[in-house]
Amino acid sequence: MRRDDYPHIVDSDDHGAPPVEVGAMRRTFNAVGEGRYIFAIPDLQLEFDVDRVHRKHHELKGELAVRYGLAGARAVNGNSLSVADFNLSSARARTERARHLSKLADATEIDWDRLLEEFCQRVLMAEREGQPAVLLREVQRPVDDHLDVEGIRLHRRHPVIEFGDGGTFKSYLGLYMAGRLEQRGVRVLYADWEFAAEDHRDRLERLFGADMPGLQYIRCERPLVFEMDRIRRIVREDKIAYVIYDSIAFTCDGPPEASEVAGAYFRAVRQVGAGSLHLAHVNRSDTGDKKPFGSSFWHNGARATWNVKTADQIPGARELTIGLYNRKANIGPLRAAVGFRICFDDSRTTITRVDPRDVEELATSLPLWQRVASELRAGPQTLVQLADGLDAKVDSIVKATNRKTNVFTKVPGDDGVYRLALVERRVS
């Protein structure tokens, strides 16, 4: 092979345009998903593939894989010439990597410096330009995004976080929701950092019996930023529509309190694709049931969050009652709280819906207006009666109910004192 055998490789109009033919040679440059670019010269069976592109200390870095298929190369698995981290912003790194590739390929007649330089410039330019602006009025409206499972609203394209203290049935409930989605024809992958396949298999049979749904499962050992490629491949090849991540604390590449850790996590989730439910723990504070443990970016990055709480348990009882409270909802209004009673038999685990308003320990975590509504199910009451029954201030009840005119109304009393009543129970 001689360099003169190949005409100069010319550019295509941009990194998203179709390849331009020049003589016997052509090349392509494409952005593949988020943070990945591929530069290919088919006539040389040569491909530069950089993934996980990110900025660090004002330099653009990523993992560069070079594949080369012509004879004589010292490649691995057929055509893998080199895979290593790479600083695309460094001229010295380009020179050293080009020299290394030339030796591995045993093809000094190829202008490796020129090709690698061109590839780096293209990636740098693509990163600076980013995606072009679009007219929102011309963007197609999203299809139905909702996946309602037992009153809990999930989303097909966005992350949802379910968070609670240890022992609040989060993983068991996540597995149950995954099984219910599978029964509805939604392909689900359960990515597990905490438990083991045989343990989840036992739980799955207890929940669904011998006719268990065909749920996909993988055991993960490393942070998500390193497991991302494997999960993304499984999602693509097995046509997975939803992923359960169990759980955030063990998936982080650093302390969960760091904002950059949360940012890297959500970038990895976007690159994996599919809708997702992420299990997390609570903050150790008086307001710990409002947001997941760690940086506020966990709460901010999710499109919805649900807090899980348990009612008091009797020691030795084979029954557990839990409530889920919607703390955030970016897509639509906040959802009503959901309750479940879980009964554990020798071979089965049975889950049934309950109304959190009917469970004293769960009712206290409801918003005040919902607690007032629960009290009024028995009939109209005065503000003083409600304040005594709910251990709340009259002013707080007034503020909470005044904003819910579609739920509450005032009715006159024989004693001249008005009472609050539910709109649906109002007597004309």
**Spatial contact of 386 and 392, defined as CB atoms under 8 Å apart:** yes
Q: Which two tokens stand for residue 277?
A: 């439910």
Q: What percent of the chain has pLDDT over 90?
A: 71
The string of pLDDT tens digits covering residues 176-191 is 999 999 999 999 999 9
- Beta strand pairing call for 319-329 and 338-344: antiparallel
Q: Which of 40, 67, 39, 64 is nearest to 52 (CA)?
A: 64
Strands 304-310 and 159-164: parallel
Q: Are 307 and 290 in contact (CB under 8 A)?
A: yes
Q: For residue 249, what are the β-bridge partners?
A: none
CA distances from 220 to 191, 200, 235, 254 (A): 7, 14, 15, 16
Q: What are phi and psi of 223, to 5 degrees?
A: -55, 155
Whether a cis peptide bond, with omega within 30° of 0, leads into 247 is yes
Q: What is the pLDDT along the chain (428 residues), one digit of tens a residue?
A: 343 443 333 444 444 434 333 335 688 999 987 889 999 999 889 999 999 898 889 999 999 999 998 888 899 988 999 999 999 999 999 999 999 999 999 988 888 999 999 999 999 999 999 888 999 999 998 877 889 999 999 999 999 999 999 888 999 999 999 999 999 999 999 999 999 999 999 999 999 999 999 999 999 999 999 999 899 999 999 999 999 999 999 999 999 999 999 999 999 999 899 999 999 999 877 778 899 999 999 999 999 999 999 998 777 789 999 999 999 999 988 899 999 999 999 999 999 999 998 898 898 889 898 889 888 988 999 999 999 999 899 999 999 999 888 899 999 988 989 999 999 754 44
One-letter amino acid at 286 equals D
Show Cβ contacts of residue 390 under 8 Å, excluding neighbours closer than 6 positions.
368, 371, 372, 375, 397
Q: Which tokens go with 242?
A: 């939803």
The end-to-end CA distance of the chain, in Å, is 94
Which regions of the chain carry the CATH code 3.40.50.300? 146-363
pLDDT tens-place string over residues 114-138: 999 999 999 999 999 988 899 999 9
Q: Where in the chain is the domain with CATH 1.10.10.10?
A: 368-425
Helix or strand (DSSP H, E) at 174:
helix 170-183
CATH number among 3.40.50.300, 3.90.180.10, 1.10.3720.10, 3.90.1720.10, domain 146-363: 3.40.50.300
Whole-angstrom distance, CA of residue 250 vs CA of residue 361: 30
> Who's near 141: CB < 8 A, 6+ residues apart?
none
CATH of range 368-425; options 3.40.1780.10, 3.30.200.20, 2.40.110.10, 1.10.10.10: 1.10.10.10
- The Cα–Cα gap between 334 and 380 comes to 26
